[in-house]
Structure 1
Amino acid sequence: MDLTNPTLTGAVTAPVLPLRVLVVDDSKAQRVMLSMSLSRWGYHVTEAASGEEALLACQAAAFDIIVSDWMMDGMSGLDLCAAFRSLGQEGYAYFILLTSKSEKTEIAKGLEGGADDFLTKPVSPDELRARLRAGERIVGMQKELVQKNRLLGATLTELQRAQEMVDRDLIEARKLQQTLVRDRFRDWGRGAATLFLRTSGHVGGDLAGFFELNATHVALYSVDVSGHGVASAMMTARLAGYLSAASPDQNIALQRRADGGFDPLPAEQVAARFNRTMLEDLQVDQYFTMVYAQVDLFSGAVSLVQAGHPHPLILRADGRIDRLGGGGLPIGLLGDAVHDRVTAQLYAGDRLFLLSDGLTECPSRQGEELGEAGLEALIRKNSDLESAQLLDALIWDLSAHMGSEDFPDDVSGLLFDYRG
């Protein structure tokens, strides 16, 4: 079986066309001799009796190789070469000058004029064929490069179109993600919650929110899913469903009573249920850090769990700042992880901060992280501001610390004002 036969292999190969060669010489006898040899070797030959005629031919058709006499009446071969190069045609033509000149200065002049090779008269057929083969290799490589550039350009165009589609989808995804947090502010009279969320890309993996547990207690949370991009955003959407007051049956922090009502679970049990859900139900490679807090609006008592998230902070009415929690393991890493309950007491005028590590880990111009001490300094600096303005000021100060508004990580959090 002949495996080179396209009909047997199924391959389709384009026919190999002979290279087009332009022979330029004001001597008819010389042109005929060269043309006969070139035609016998399989080239497609065109003749021109002068440089001017050759230039017109080059404007009308594309040639792969040009073989021209140097010394001709009117336009010389060197002038033809320079004029041809100035046409700026897409394909490259290999230019060979025929000359009796052998001085190095003349050769250098020819190379500067755009010639690729030289043959000394009288022309040896063997040497001419060898030079033509060298020209074929150059022209072949140039054609291959042009073809690859075209393919690269077409591929780049397709990639740009695909990227534009992805960008449009991500913009819509960002709009949908913003709807996960419908309320940025909620006032319960004895306390009020204000939150902010700023993603580092189109979509992010941070989530902050609140919901009512019953008539006297509210839940506050700040979540940071590992990684960035679409996968993290999809996980935050899933977690938002687990912490939704609109769907108490799905809310992981609530437990149905026999009479059909719902009771809040202790904070540590909420963390345990999340951990089981991540490892047993969702079974994904992601994990998340979290602070989940329950606040009694009447007494100011706080019960919370910290799962690998930055320490919750209480800005006291007298300006002191208390750090809560001991760190804890992220949710979804270990099946036997235990998250201890942390308690605290809020008094009138105190503020509770649940902030993501996008603030504490934000680098400066020198690469140094802001850190918890730096964050506390910014909170103290802006403590006289109302909650919404205070959170905006934190973002401005963070931008000044970094020297840019393009944060490397999502920045989010929640501020709870306790009025008592």
Structure 2
Amino acid sequence: MDILIADDLAETRILLKSVIKKLGHNVYSAEDGAQAWELLQENPNISLLISDWEMPNMTGIELCRKIRSSDIGRYLFIILLTAKNQKDELIEGMAAGADDFITKPFNNQELDVRIRAGERIIRLQEDLAQKNKKLSDYNERLEKDLRSAAKLQESLLPKRHLELGELSFDSIFIPSLFVAGDIFNYFKLDEDNTGFYLLDVSGHGVSSAMLSFTLSKYLNAEGGSARGVLRKWTPSESNFINTSPEIVLGMLNRIFEMGEETMQYFTMVYGKYNYQARELEVSLGGHPPVLVMRANGGAEVIDLASIPIGMFRNSEYSKATLRMEPGDRILVYSDGLCDCFDTGDGKVTENMTDWFRERNYPDVNALSDEIKAKMRNYMENNPDADDISLIIISVN
């Protein structure tokens, strides 16, 4: 081990150097604290310092404080060599950063024992530093993987603005972590019908995102049709028939039944809009209410009491049917948005409805900008906030 001696008395330096070399260590020496500080910076291999208390230019106490307040890239074990033995003085030395003390005149065996104790501490510190480095490298790789997963997840989402017939879709997505449990989509079912869904997997992070990935692939328009979920083939008519929303949720509830190991379920809203009838059909599976903001300034809340998907195998779901008019808007969102409106008064849906009613702007971009600012402000002030997703559907 490389040891640095700092003492203004040449006799003490010579004596210490002789004893420490016999113990099998390499020795550096300095005449005062300032010179010791320079040697520590020039020789990163030095891992133990034996310093006198009283020295010119920089005292042992001052040297301790400078070392502990600086990043020298390693842990340095410090032994103060002193004639002081008062309790207050020893406390001062410990407070400055000293690890141990040797009282003058020192005993060779005591010096050996204290150096060995310092070696053990240094080895523990080095071992801890190596483990921290491995952990840091692992976290860096994990963060990189999570960022890649987040990009993949965002690639599964539809365009932020999309025109489908007489409907305009605008969406906002803010994940709580690098990856999220929210996923949504909107798509043409056929020439007369458009479908949309938003689901929120329980929990946070990778496990939630994995299930949301699976559901996204399962519910894409082509995949859903092929599996008979969103559309069902009828041989008698040689055609596909769109599945009613409550039936879709019932099928998903049986397919994605919650397992004992994962204990994962998800809430979901699925809606279907028919252009010819200007009719909206929507079902909820344990999901927050859907808000319908009417062009005339009115508002309707679609709140269907229901159980989350996958929680109980025999759960049944219902649907609501509404006629829509030009200028109406449909707001579909995850419960992360509810948190933005939770003032503790128990009136989250009412608060949200009033907020959107006051901002029923003709220009959807103005509405998007305001709600996005509100979302980001909430996320900044609540680091543990849930994912936030919102779909604004405008009837043209």
Q: What's the TM-score, normalizing by structure 2?
A: 0.74
In the alignment, which residue of structure 1 is the partner of 2:233? 256
1:329 pairs, out of 282, 289, 307, with 307
Label 1:251 to 1:405 Cα distance change in 2 as closer, same or farther (>3 A). Answer: farther
Letter in 2 for 1:117: T
Q: Tell me which residue corresponds to 2:103.
A: 117
- What is the one-letter code of the residue matched to 1:169? D
Q: 1:299 and 2:277 equivalent?
A: yes
Distance 1:198 1:319 in 2: 28
Superposition deviation, residue 198 in structure 1 = 1.5
Query: Are residue 341 (structure 1) and residue 319 (structure 2) matched?
Result: yes
After TM superposition, give the deviation of residue 357 of structure 1 in Å. Answer: 0.9
Identify which range, 139-148 or 162-171, moves more after superposition: 139-148
Q: Hey, what's the Cα distance between the residues in 1 that align with 2:310 and 2:46?
A: 67
Inter-partner Cα distance in structure 1 for 2:139 and 2:186: 36
Corresponding residue for residue 9 of structure 1: none
Change (3 A) 1:342 1:95: same
For the 8 Å contact 1:242–1:251, the answer to whether it is kept is no
Q: 2:212 maps to which residue?
A: 236
Distance 1:313 1:44 in 2: 79
Conserved in 2, the CA contact under 8 Å of 1:94 and 1:135?
Answer: no
- Residues matched between the structures, number: 360
| Alignment equivalent of 2:155, drawn from 170, 174, 179 | 179
Correspondence for 1:190: 166
Deviation at 1:383, TM superposition (A): 0.8
| 1:295 positional shift | 1.2
Match of 2:244? 266
Q: Check the 8 A contact 2:337/2:390 in 1, yes or no.
A: no
Q: Deviations over 1:250-273 (max 9, x none)?
A: 462121232764221111110111
Counterpart position of 1:352: 330
SS in 1 for 2:120: helix
> Quick check: 147-156 or 133-142, which moved more?
133-142
Farther-moved stretch of structure 1 (186-195 vs 332-341): 186-195
Larger Rg, first or second structure (1 or 2): 1
Separation in structure 1 between the aligned mates of residue 242 and residue 260 of structure 2, nearest angstrom: 23
The one of 189, 193, 205 equivalent to 1:213 is 189
**1:238 positional shift:** 0.9
Cα deviation 1:120-150 (Å, max 9, x = unaligned): xxxxxxxx8xx55554443333222222221
Alignment-derived partner of residue 138 in structure 2 = 162
Identity of aligned residues (%): 21
Q: Within 5 A, what are the aligned runs for 1:402-413?
A: 404=381, 408-413=385-390
Runs of 5+ consecutive residues of structure 2 not aligned to the other structure:
none
User: Any idea what SS the aligned residue of 2:257 has?
Assistant: helix
What is the alpha-carbon root mean square deviation over aligned residues? 4.5
Q: Are residues 349 and 142 of structure 1, via their aligned partners in 2, closer, same or farther at CA, if it must alter by over 3 Å? A: same
Residue number in structure 2 paired with 1:393: 370
Residues 64/388 of structure 1: CA separation in 2 closer, same or farther (3 Å cut): closer
Amino acid of the residue matched to residue 354 of structure 2?
A
> Does structure 2 conserve the Cα–Cα contact (< 8 Å) formed by 1:208 and 1:413?
no
TM (norm. structure 1) is 0.70
